Amino acid sequence: MVNNWAIIGTGVVSRKFVAGLRQMPGLGTVTVAASRRMENAQAFAKALAIPTAVDDYRAAVSRTDVDLVYIATPPSEHEAHALIAIAAGKAVLIEKPFALDGTAARRIAEAARAAGVFCMEAMWTRFLPLMAEVRSLIASGALGELRALQGSFMISNAPDPAASLFDPARGGGALMHRGVYPLSLARLFLGPVENVTAHGRLGSTGVDEDCTLVLGHAGGAISTLTASLRAPGPNDLTIAGTKGRIAIEAPIYRPFRARLTPVTPRRNAGSGGRLEALKEGVAAQRLLQMMPGGLRGMLSRGGRTIRRPYHGNGYGHEAAEVIRCLSAGLTESPLMPLQDSIEIMDVIDAARAAFR
């Protein structure tokens, strides 16, 4: 099977994707780079030793030496570029967020399904080795009944109206570019979202610069997600159930380590007594404050650390999933099905409506 890639969009993420392709065997070769400006395409191709540069997206995806198309243009352009690739019969991998909104996401999915062409959102975090381990632990019942998830992706950026992060026309905003990570993982681990409560703070350019979502999932679990373009945060994620929790360490977008902490549900205890007096006494509380991590640190000692390194820079794992699916004759990935991408965009739409 020949796997020749066309790269649509020549920004920083595309550079990382090409590097990731080359760090894992069997993922194919990049044969053409395309940008709306020829000088950008040529500079990208020269820097990364790609043989062909073009300023025509349709021409790029129609080439006979292209089998797969990776799209990393602004979210506002994803639908148009995906439909061009699908019409050319080429498998397509679309950077997150999948589209500008839920309506556009549906149109992409409908076109791909009608044409029988492979299509997947490039939410690379889902395909990292650590995520497979977390899914396995959850499936094994290690956490019991899932009850809650908390996640954040927050970085302080200087506002720049010229940057796509702060441009509403190009699909900017904290939720679209950062909140989509914990949101996608919440959908992966807790299932479909049934209700959305959202609060956002709009900046001078009109995008949400800070936001928090509280989601109710079909199984009854609740997730709380926070994203920001203007403030730093822990950028980690915790999944909690009746029998324990898994704390996925930062960075949330490229994690490789987590901590599994089992717990035994407490039984209701009566009030008063010597044990309570001892626990609440000065000596006991002073000892807790001297321990690394306090009570939380003491309780976490019964757990274990899980380390699952990613290969190279991590971007190759999503490409490996594309190749795996194509080899198996699949037109959608079971790890990132199109319905998940549509639902995630629907949640984003509902949240953005609440911001205003």
What one-letter code names the amino acid at 74? P
Q: What is the DSSP letter of 179?
A: I
Sign of CA dihedral 241, 247, 250, 256: negative
Residue 273: other Cβ atoms inside 10 A: 10
Under DSSP, is residue 195 helix (H, G, I), strand (E, B) or coil? strand
Between CA 31 and CA 233 the distance in angstroms is 39
* Active-site option among 16, 46, 90, 96: 96
Q: Assess whether 96 carries a catalytic annotation.
A: yes
| CA 289 to chain centroid | 36
Between CA 68 and CA 2 the distance in angstroms is 10
- What does the CA dihedral 170, 173, 178, 181 come to, rounded to 10 degrees? -70
Between CA 262 and CA 272 the distance in angstroms is 28
| CA 129 to chain centroid | 14
- DSSP result, 165-197: GG-GGGT-SHIIIIIHHHHHHHHHHH--EEEEE
Q: Name the residues annotated as catalytic.
A: 96
